[in-house]
Structure 1
Amino acid sequence: MTEVPTTHRNPLRTAPNLLTVMRICLAPFLVSAILENRFGLAFALFVAAGLSDALDGLLARMLKQRTSLGQYLDPIADKLLLSTLFLVLMYKGLMPTTVTVLVFGRDVGILLVAAVLYAVAGRREFGPSIFGKANTVAQVTAVAVVLLHELTTAKWVVILRLVALDATVGLTIASGLHYAWIASHRSSSQPNTPGAN
């Protein structure tokens, strides 16, 4: 039996993309655990989601199974999971409203800017900056420590929670401003087309 070429395989059947889909499927279970105050289970599921995120990137490189679908699906899965958790934790009174509003405001702003760049300049690529990556790490840490804080009030957990929330606020603002600068630079570098305002 001849092996099907990688280019003709269903991209959803690759190991990295299956892990990403699994991470998306974890979202409702995580939400349910938090709403039911089962924070031990919620923390374990969140750690599992984080490990799957690290593993899918590793497998994509090792197995040479990077796909266009995966490049879009992976950040969507991350944003879906984090955004949902920020909202649910805010609803439970565990995540400050200011932090959640900033996180959502930044993400909505980036989506709008990306849409405008695509409409005006035909640009599809709008990759993450170093500030954006650092912000994602801060958000993941903040969610993890907020959940952990419900399991233990050890001093280091209390301190790490405050640091992670402050870092999330600072990096959310910094990365939002950086993306705005990138968008401004890219739009100004586009040549004027006939009829364009």
Structure 2
Amino acid sequence: MVNLPNLLTIGRLFATPLVIWLIATGEHLAAFWVFALAGATDAVDGALARALDQRTKLGAYLDAVADKALLVSIYVTLALAGEIPAALAAAVVARDALIVGAVGLGWALQRPLPIEPLKISKANTAAQIVFAGLVLGGDGFGLRFGMLEAAVGWVVAGLTLASAGAYLLAFAKHMARAETGRRDP
């Protein structure tokens, strides 16, 4: 049986280098449309997995990897192109590196973390998608959103830092429970 949600997630992974190439070659409108399609699959794959009862551990991992690959790559590329502040891209990269590092450390210590996004993380991902879409769309359609773009950028910065803090706290609690032999709820 074909797992459609996982196929959509894999499609998002394959869209990542295409979006980066389109940004790097100045094809911002095409990058916007490919990114918009990839962003839409982020919402659709999870809903389909629940509706079709096709949730899998592989899907949970693939979804997280696809989100990180797409957003981190776009933020770094936009920062290198001078389209967004480098500090914002650095915060996005640092947050994701922290999460990946915590998961890796948990596995290395034989205390694997459950792979479930926090609510703040979902809000952060949504804000990052909106901001990247705003920047790409503005560039692609020749529009400037000025204060709106700046405001959404600040929201992304705040949510990125809050999300990093929430994951760090969740990791610390998980490791403390593992030390005492208790299980995560």
Q: Provide the TM-score with structure 2 as the length reference.
A: 0.88
Verify the 8 A CA contact 1:23 1:77 in the aligned structure 2.
Answer: yes
Q: Per-residue displacement from partner, 1:60-114 (whole Å, max 9, x unpaired)? A: 1222222221111111111111111111111111121000111111111122222
Where 1:46 maps in the other structure, the secondary structure is helix
Match of 1:162 among 146, 150, 153: 150
User: Percent identical across equivalent pairs?
Assistant: 32
Distance 2:128 2:92 in 1: 9
Where 2:109 maps in the other structure, the secondary structure is helix
Deviation of the 1:177 alpha carbon? 1.4
Relative distance call for 1:47 and 1:117 in structure 2 (3 A) is same
Alignment partner, residue 36 of structure 1: 25
Distance 1:122 1:84 in 2: 29
Distance 1:58 1:182 in 2: 25
Q: Per-residue displacement from partner, 1:39-67 (whole Å, max 9, x unpaired)? A: 11111111111122222222212222222
Distance 1:192 1:53 in 2: 37
Alignment partner, residue 127 of structure 1: 116
Distance 1:113 1:176 in 2: 11
| RMSD across aligned positions (CA) | 1.8
Verify the 8 A CA contact 1:149 1:158 in the aligned structure 2.
Answer: no
Deviation of the 1:192 alpha carbon? 5.2
Which stretch has the larger CA shift, 45-54 or 113-122?
Answer: 113-122
Match of 2:87 among 87, 94, 98: 98
Alignment partner, residue 5 of structure 1: none
Larger Cα-atom Rg: 1
Match of 1:140 among 129, 146, 159: 129
Distance 1:94 1:104 in 2: 16
Alignment partner, residue 178 of structure 2: 190
Structure 2 segments unaligned to the other structure (5+ residues):
none
Alignment partner, residue 60 of structure 1: 49
Distance 2:42 2:170 in 1: 27
Relative distance call for 1:126 and 1:60 in structure 2 (3 A) is closer
Which stretch has the larger CA shift, 98-107 or 25-34?
Answer: 25-34
Q: Provide the TM-score with structure 1 as the length reference.
A: 0.83
Distance 1:85 1:161 in 2: 16
1:86 aligns with 2:67: no
Verify the 8 A CA contact 1:24 1:77 in the aligned structure 2.
Answer: yes
Deviation of the 1:147 alpha carbon? 0.8
